[in-house]
Amino acid sequence: MSCNNSINIFLLGLVSGMTSDIRGSSIDQQQLMTFAYAFSVTIMVAFGIISNIFSIDTLKQREVRSSTVGLYLIVYSCCSIFGLIMVECRLIRMLNSFSYTASFIICNVVSGLASIITRICLWMNGFIAIQRSLQSFEANRLINKIRSRSFAITHIFIVIISIFSMHIHELIYRVSVSDPLLKGNYICQIKYPSSLLIMNTIFSFVHLFVPLSLNIFANCLVLTLISRRRATLHQTSHWNQWMRHFHRHRHLFLAPTLAMICILPQLTVTTLFSCVDASLKWLLRLNTAVNLIIYIPQASTFLLFILPSESYFRSFKTQSHLGKLIVRCYRLDNRIGLIPTTIDRFHMETRNRQVATTIELNQIQKTQN
């Protein structure tokens, strides 16, 4: 689709939206806005890297990585770390000036890989939700095949190769051109022919709609499982039992629901506003916000998958290197806290002497009486 003098929202990435917003502001606000954008992205990236390192340290344990879900999660965590690092590297484009070589690398390599890895994470999140929901169903031939390790390995390779193939045109048509507003600077543009632009729009919609549908379907599967168990219960106790089953499976809803919340705004914005006028600050910042929150599930892997799961969190505390180190430090702090200091011992001894003196005086008074 042609946007004439506007910006095609399907081609406007996270850093491009930030840069357009900064350059459209007054000179007094540009430095503050640059710091705010860079700080928020850096905090999210740092938190996400730590979260995914903790997750990988847990998932590499034998009993976890041998499962199908564990295999999906390992790929998801590795892609999340790589994708978040790519996002941080793209912030270099916010600098006022850098060489053409740096611009070419960031535009044609880093930005392209960041887009691919982000889409891989979106799809993996949806498939992880499906795999986790199927674990609660009774095994049959179809479910056993889907949950098999060989199927998971084949499926992961197909997804990665397919998404890379769907981005070949983007890697080819990314170009670094001279910035008309800032001499000596370069900007990244994607110049598609009209036919490829329509195809790219369809691909962008699919990369959002299908993962959203997978997460919705996963939640529906878990709700169906709970409803079936409720139907077999006695009428007088079905509500309490239903709540008990819901509480038991609540961790299965956490990741799909958050993914739905983060994907839906971007899907809505790209559907309603295909073209963005750079002068509309609220729409430009809204697009930047929805491009930023799409990374929240990638940055929250440990909080979404490891912490809510009893088995995964137990493996983290008892088997992973980082988990055992944290537990050891926590116990050491507790022991140190229980050791009385010199002042504490002095007060305790003084209090004991006062109590002993009081008891002795009471005994003397009783003897005299």
Is 315's pLDDT higher than 80? Answer: yes
The residue among 347 and 318 whose pLDDT is bigger is: 318
> Is 314 within a domain?
no
For Cα atoms 250, 121, 135, give the angle at the middle one, nearest 5 degrees: 35
What CATH code is carried by the domain that includes residue 226? 1.20.1070.10
Confidence of residue 5 (pLDDT cuts 50, 70, 90): very low
Is 111's pLDDT higher than 80? Answer: yes
When pLDDT is averaged across residues 143-167 and rounded to a whole number, the result is 92
Name which of 24-28, 39-43, 236-240, 308-312 the model is least confident about: 236-240
Is 21's pLDDT higher than 70? Answer: yes
- The secondary element (H helix, E strand) that includes residue 177 is strand 174-178
Share of the chain above pLDDT 70, in %: 76
> Is 353 within a domain?
no
Distance CA 155, CA 122 (A): 15
Three-state secondary-structure class, residue 274: coil
Other Cβ atoms closer than 10 A to 173: 17
Q: How many domains does the chain have?
A: 1
> Is 321 within a domain?
no
Long-range contacts from 41-45, C-beta under 8 angstroms, 24+ separation: 41/14, 41/87, 41/88, 41/91, 41/292, 42/88, 42/91, 44/84, 44/292, 44/295, 44/296, 44/299, 45/84, 45/85, 45/87, 45/88, 45/299
Rounded alpha-carbon distances, angstroms, from residue 270 to 160, 166, 226, 265, 315: 24, 18, 35, 9, 41
Range of the domain at 153: 7-309
Please tell me what DSSP assigns to residue 138. Answer: P
Q: What pLDDT sits at residue 283? A: 79
> Is 152 within a domain?
yes
Is 286's pLDDT higher than 60? Answer: yes
Q: What pLDDT sits at residue 16? A: 75
Three-state secondary-structure class, residue 204: helix
**Highest mean pLDDT, choosing among 21-30, 59-68, 75-84, 92-101:** 75-84
- Region for 65 from its dihedrals, namely left if φ exceeds 0, alpha if ψ lies in -120 to 50, beta otherwise: alpha
pLDDT tens-place string over residues 260-275: 999 999 888 877 776 6
When pLDDT is averaged across residues 23-39 and rounded to a whole number, the result is 84
Q: What pLDDT sits at residue 346? A: 56
> Is 159 within a domain?
yes
The residue among 101 and 356 whose pLDDT is bigger is: 101
Is 120's pLDDT higher than 50? Answer: yes
Three-state secondary-structure class, residue 147: coil
